[in-house]
Amino acid sequence: MSKKPKINRSPSLFHERRMDIKITDVSIKLLDKLCEIEKQCFKQEAFTKQQLTYLLTDYNVIRLAALVNGEIAGFAIARVDIRRNDQFGHIVTVDVTPAYRRKGIAQKLLREIETILRESGIIECRLEVRENNIAALNLYQKLGYKKVGKLEKYYGTAHGLYLTKTLQ
């Protein structure tokens, strides 16, 4: 006779499943907090305050934050790029604070960006990711992004991958 597996009935486990994630637009007023999160996520490769200021004020950019209980749990920035009569969405950054990782926040941010792009008539979304960022790669592949190229030494000495997705 085999033992039944023990089920963890921890209240916190159930709370996480019902976590209320609110996606909202980001304003420049949150710049300092976004810089802090960016540094937590990307260390020496983080965007500078000046770069984030540009991204938060560029009219061609989608900037979203994920709020959990009024606290910023993460944010994502994408832009619409136009090259030779070709328009496409470009995911610039997806940042989730360590306390909120692996809880569906990045996925929710990306899906919302894709919806906005699709509703704007954009049919393709592109992004770059560090070759050894397995968690991000798994997420992007789960969402339908395909590897289309390798970016040699894109992140200093580390390689990147170029991914794309057709938005339907």
User: In 10 A of CB 138, how many CB atoms?
Assistant: 10
User: In 10 A of CB 38, how many CB atoms?
Assistant: 21
pLDDT in tens, 124-153: 999 999 888 899 999 999 999 999 988 877
Domains and CATH numbers, the chain: 18-166 (3.40.630.30)
pLDDT in tens, 10-67: 444 444 456 789 999 998 999 999 999 999 998 878 889 999 999 999 988 999 999 9
Q: Which pLDDT belongs to residue 10?
A: 40
pLDDT greater than 90 at residue 84: no
**In the chain, alpha helices (H):** 11-17, 31-42, 49-57, 105-119, 134-142
pLDDT in tens, 117-129: 999 999 999 999 9
CB 73 within 8 A of CB 105: yes
Q: Which amino acid is at 137?
A: L
Please list the residues that pair with 149 across neighbouring strands.
162
pLDDT greater than 90 at residue 155: no
**What's the pTM value of the predicted model, to 2 decimals?**
0.83
- Distance, in Å, from the CA atom of 108 to the CA atom of 16, rounded to the nearest integer, reads 15
Q: Mean per-residue pLDDT for 146-164?
A: 85
